[in-house]
A and B are shown apart, each in its own frame.
Chain A
């Protein structure tokens, strides 16, 4: 246990670890100290001056003992000037005031200066609604400007790079983005030019941010200076519903928030989870959600009709009846599952198909930070449920040789030649592929934004995600489809998980609500599928 010190913030006793700054210490007792430049995961710049607080230390007598006043309490000597909370560390016996008139007045002064050259673009600014400047204007703003001179004009609507739009007039020069690029993303490419009122954020000559983590500077920008180009003018944030989710694009499983309105997901942002992604996520994962609202999504069960020679839509009842009948009559059933399916779905898939089952590996290049080589978010889940068996070559050979005549595919594609050799091909997927084209039966599935479920990431962490939007058409979550094909009676995803927790020792005693928003580490005996990368640590350094 680290050494702790006792101090008083706004009359509340706080026990904080030594070395903690006052903003964090105040947070421990639920007191918010307003700040712009300070970010817990970045170095301290101390340039916004918003977090000014009044600090005092006990007066010491000759023996270096706190001198007691007439009321028996230590006499506090307050500093003549206010101190910035972000760069002042806690000390034994310290007394901090964050809401006195003196502090209030100082912050009002800071706010007034910050707003002098701010263009007040709020009506056309994408940050409006989640802008720190707006929020603190309410608390410390004057509501009017004493500044009658013309404001300084700086470049507007400029492209920092293809993904990010920069509006220099809105910038309050907090330097969070500069520090992020240097310290976390690892590309020192941003800086300020000119001085005084004309200070301007810009790239180093001939450079632009080109890492896989650039968009995080949009998240940490406290104002609307940096905005995401592909979210620009799409929706106001106050219309968007926030749904806690998990990024399905690699085995890190970054915790995310999906921002949706009326069945459309507009953006994906990282969610704090120090055990997984801290508060960052990679641009690859962040931007890879557009398939959710793809117009070609499969919306209805269908059968390749021998009579009409084309696809005919079916009801779920009819599709289930026909498929279960044919599966019963079939001999060996093989299954190809996806590492992008949820643990619950894989569990049911294994039950439905039996032993001849495997997942398709998807790999890419790991970047040593958050992005993993294993691009399946749930490879560990597939291992756990027995879906990842390494039998994929065997299955494909079997199809080629004509030994495997019945195949169920969950969210993966299949070669045209192979598909044609099968007698019965059932495909559960969200988007049309070669496999759905040749499948006898196509059952529409849902994306991660439309269902609930769990992923187990590369570090064997079980994480839960929620449905942000309703499914398209009459598509329904895969677990429901698989339940129907099994003839099982799970009424809700909780029932599937409960059954899974009974069957799999690693999940014993767990249920969906126990997982919580941040997930739980599983104790799995077998080695993890991929060597666990030191993702979070790498990012933190």
Chain B
């Protein structure tokens, strides 16, 4: 394709008017308002759905919400998540949840903050919080373990209370019709 070049006048060809114009523009900006944010002192305002560091949360009763279903490990594009599944303690108040991660590691050097883990989590146990300045002096420091992730995550209000009302009834509960927590009496024959 032949590009039509505009015919330039003599002055345009010297570039001088354009250069002067450019210099006028730059000099005008010297006293203008500056847009720099003084970062460490002045934090950016993050929007509600900001995707910062992924964290693990507990429900208001202190259960670790994660049940190590490993869907996040599966969906994680950079394979930053590594879960070692384990059991909940037998006599613990949350033993009806059965499963809990023995170890839950997120390699923050690998994490790309895509939020797939949060999206895929069936238990709403993993949240991308607002922490964005994740730094450390060693690679190991940036392998966040379960404890660290729970510290970062804190407690998340729970509207469903899935595990509070769910799971095995206490041992000794009779199998059969139950109403208001009590077994329903069998009706007499012919009634």
Contact = CB atoms under 8 A, between A and B. Distances in A.
Same complex for A and B? Answer yes
Given A122-B122, A124-B99, A239-B74, A153 B67 contact: no
A233 B85 contact: yes
A233 B99 contact: yes
B70 interface: yes
B85 A235 contact: yes
A233 B168 contact: no
B123 A123 contact: yes
Interface string B86-98: 1100000000111
B173 interface: yes
Interface in B79-122: 85-87, 96-99, 122
A234 B68 CA distance: 10
B46 interface: no
Interface residues of A, number: 23
Interface stretch (B2-10, B13-21, B52-60, B174-182): B174-182
Contacts of A157: 98, 168
A156 B99 CA distance: 13
Interface stretch (A45-53, A109-117, A193-201, A397-405): A193-201
Interface residues on B, range: 20 to 34
A190 B91 CA distance: 29
B97 A124 contact: yes
The binding surface of chain A is classed by DSSP as: loop
Given A128-B69, A233-B85, A239-B74, A194 B175 contact: yes
A234 B84 CA distance: 8
A163 interface: no
B37 interface: no
A153 B68 CA distance: 23
Contact of A154 (B86, B122, B175): B175
Contacts of B78: none
Contacts of B166: 119
B77 interface: no
B62 interface: no
A193 B173 CA distance: 15
Given A123-B122, A156-B167, A157-B168, A236 B70 contact: yes
A235 B70 CA distance: 9
B59 to A, nearest CB: 14
Interface in B140-155: none
B97 A153 contact: no
B69 A200 contact: no
B169 interface: yes
Contacts of A291: none
Interface string A151-183: 011111100000000000100000000000000
Contact of A122 (B69, B96, B178): B69
A238 interface: yes
Contact of B67 (A124, A193, A200): A124
A381 B35 CA distance: 81
Contacts of B175: 154-155, 193-194, 198, 200
A455 B87 CA distance: 39
Interface in B157-191: 165-169, 173, 175-178
Interface SS of B by simple majority: loop
Nearest to A196: B177
Contacts of B85: 233-235
Contacts of B97: 124
Given A155-B175, A156-B167, A198-B177, A124 B96 contact: no
Contact of B69 (A152, A155, A198, A236): A236
Given A122-B122, A124-B97, A233-B99, A238 B74 contact: yes
Given A194-B176, A198-B176, A198-B177, A233 B69 contact: no
A153 B166 CA distance: 8
Contacts of A123: 67, 69, 71, 99, 122-123
B122 A236 contact: no
Nearest to B90: A157
A27 to B, nearest CB: 30
Interface in A224-247: 233-236, 238-239
A193 B69 CA distance: 31
Contacts of B99: 123-124, 233
B88 to A, nearest CB: 9
B168 A156 contact: yes
Contacts of B165: 150
Contacts of B122: 122-123
A123 B122 CA distance: 7
B53 to A, nearest CB: 23
B98 A124 contact: yes
B167 A233 contact: no
Contacts of B73: 239
Nearest to B88: A124
A152 B169 CA distance: 10
A152, A157, A194: most-surrounded residue (chain B CB, <10 A): A157
A151 to B, nearest CB: 8
Contacts of A234: 85
B124 to A, nearest CB: 11
Interface in B1-54: none
A239 B71 CA distance: 10
A194 B186 CA distance: 12
A449 to B, nearest CB: 22
A154 B176 CA distance: 8
B66 to A, nearest CB: 9
Contacts of A119: 166-167
Interface in A118-134: 119, 122-124, 128
Contacts of A194: 175-176
Interface string A495-521: 000000000000000000000000000
Given A124-B98, A235-B70, A236-B70, 11 more contacts: A119-B167, A123-B122, A150-B165, A153-B167, A153-B173, A153-B178, A155-B168, A157-B98, A198-B175, A198-B176, A239-B70
Closest CB pairs A-B (n = 4):
A156-B168, A123-B69, A124-B99, A233-B85
11 contacts: A123-B67, A150-B165, A152-B178, A154-B175, A157-B168, A194-B176, A198-B175, A200-B175, A233-B85, A233-B86, A236-B74
Interface of B: 67-71, 73-74, 85-87, 96-99, 122-123, 165-169, 173, 175-178
Interface of A: 119, 122-124, 128, 150, 152-157, 169, 193-194, 198, 200, 233-236, 238-239
